[in-house]
Structure 1
């Protein structure tokens, strides 16, 4: 299943809708982490500085909520009568309203195919369609900037909690030279980091970033935001194919997860 979900113990899982068109970079430090040791480190700091660490927990939670708000951009909801209600505050779209009421306000954005068709007058190459596409690109750049800052702040808080690692620091320093600020995943102490990539980054620059990270021995992927997670394959994917000698069985596994 594709998409992004927001979840918290004791709360209903929320699937974020209408995700921005962004890519992420995922880097495996190849450092095996010890989650139990990381948890113990944080517990010791919490015991030593309860008010300070508790405030840091609150900040990390606030960052997560803010990121979810940025990513979650509900589509225009339409019913049979055409009186759709915009969840981000644009109000109902009734037949009595003029076309100006269909334009997004500065405090809200709409990514709706029906709205784009209306604004563009049904003409794919109309100037209105070009303006809409340009506006969306600018919106994605702004979204990247906010998420990039949140990742940087979040990662610094995790380091302050004592769950960093020199290899992770090297990844962060390398990406920071390109204006990309990653954050640790999971319990920290190694493992992987991820970051958002700026829209329309030239492929030559992406290849340069990839090559520099791999030169340090890291594994690198650049998947789209909201891509599929764990996938069951009927045959072993080509990614996992390895050369075998003539004496070995080359028949792929019937199922691979």
Structure 2
């Protein structure tokens, strides 16, 4: 059982190549984004289970007796091999009654937490009175896997708290990761949390948050690339909202209307994903400048393709124009129609150029971060490994 506070973190995700084409059986490359969600779980003796979400201004708590009643009623049916049932979700909504807007971020976050807490308690032994604080560097609703990072952090923390998985962090270490079989268990439970939030997730986001690095996704099969480099990028949030469902439907309509035109475009996007995979493996073995030039060309070609299939946006065009003025190469990431873009940075890119591009993007009203892709997945942290701003957040709550 949990004897001391533990801190875990998981990365967000971006799509490097293969957006929309993946819906039609083509390959996509999903990458771990080194903007992370941090969770701290602490034992307490007040007879309550509490969760604090300062990013969205929410704090909730439940009496252990209240949860025990629900745990008894559902103990036979809560398992990582089963999807959440409508009956289970109705029961959870009853005790999640402080949240009154069913589709709100706060409500979904609370329901995912309750489902994972009760499911894991039912299978491995009830988790004692705890307090959880979750804080994220990821913007919510920007298509960067914030909910998956949250679910993976919850699963890892709760499984560790009840002893279902070990605690690999030793005193002499700053950061540690679980062995492969325990990561797989974390991922399975996190997927159930994602189902609570999204209904029918692909499993890509939680897999990226669990394993990190780069994952290839095609026709429902997820493969972790073994040798990948860490690449510097600028990540830009245009803050333009969009409907993924509408964009996906629009691409499908174009394919039906112009199959002879659109199918070759999708095949070309697939080829870009495959070529990029080969180049990433080559960079991991020998980081030659020539490979980064190829990556930049692939980014440019794919961005043109994404405009052709109808998922571009003037805000994304603006990101590409602004960064091109500084000799940089950008493309949308995710659904398109607004949302976010990534800009590749070569290892030798002048920091002054990066800062100038950031300032110009900010002047457009965009939000911009310099970060990296290919980051590590879910891990445990010692306090000395945490950024000062993370420690400050945890100390305030």
TM-score between both structures, scaled by the size of structure 1: 0.63
Partner residue of 2:236? 27
Preserved CA contact (<8 Å) 1:16 1:73: no
Q: CA separation in 2, counterparts of 1:149 and 1:232?
A: 37
Deviation, 1:66, is: 0.4
Partner residue of 1:203? 351
1:219 aligned onto 2:367: yes
Partner residue of 2:396? 252
1:148 aligned onto 2:296: yes
TM-score between both structures, scaled by the size of structure 2: 0.42
Q: CA separation in 1, counterparts of 2:247 and 2:283?
A: 37
- Structure 2's unaligned 5+ residue stretches are 1-210
Deviation, 1:159, is: 0.4
Preserved CA contact (<8 Å) 2:283 2:291: no
- In the superposition, relative to structure 1, how do residues 18 and 191 fare at CA in structure 2: closer, same or farther (>3 Å)? closer
Deviation, 1:145, is: 0.7
Q: CA separation in 1, counterparts of 2:215 and 2:375?
A: 12
Q: Which has the higher contact order (CA 8 A, sep 6+)?
A: 1
Partner residue of 1:9? 219
1:42 aligned onto 2:251: yes
Preserved CA contact (<8 Å) 2:232 2:344: yes
Q: Which has the higher helix share?
A: 2
Preserved CA contact (<8 Å) 1:31 1:167: yes
Q: Which has the higher strand share?
A: 2
4+ residue stretches of structure 1 with deviation over 6 A? Answer: 230-237, 240-243
Partner residue of 1:183? 331
Secondary structure of 1:175's match? helix
Q: CA separation in 2, counterparts of 1:167 and 1:241?
A: 35
Name the Cα RMSD after superposition.
2.9
Secondary structure of 2:349's match? coil
Preserved CA contact (<8 Å) 2:269 2:302: yes
Write out aligned runs for 1:46-85 (5 A): 46-73=255-282
Q: CA separation in 1, counterparts of 2:237 and 2:375?
A: 18
- Number of corresponding residues: 185
Q: CA separation in 2, counterparts of 1:27 and 1:70?
A: 24
- In the superposition, relative to structure 1, how do residues 36 and 12 fare at CA in structure 2: closer, same or farther (>3 Å)? closer
Q: CA separation in 1, counterparts of 2:225 and 2:372?
A: 17
Larger Rg: 1
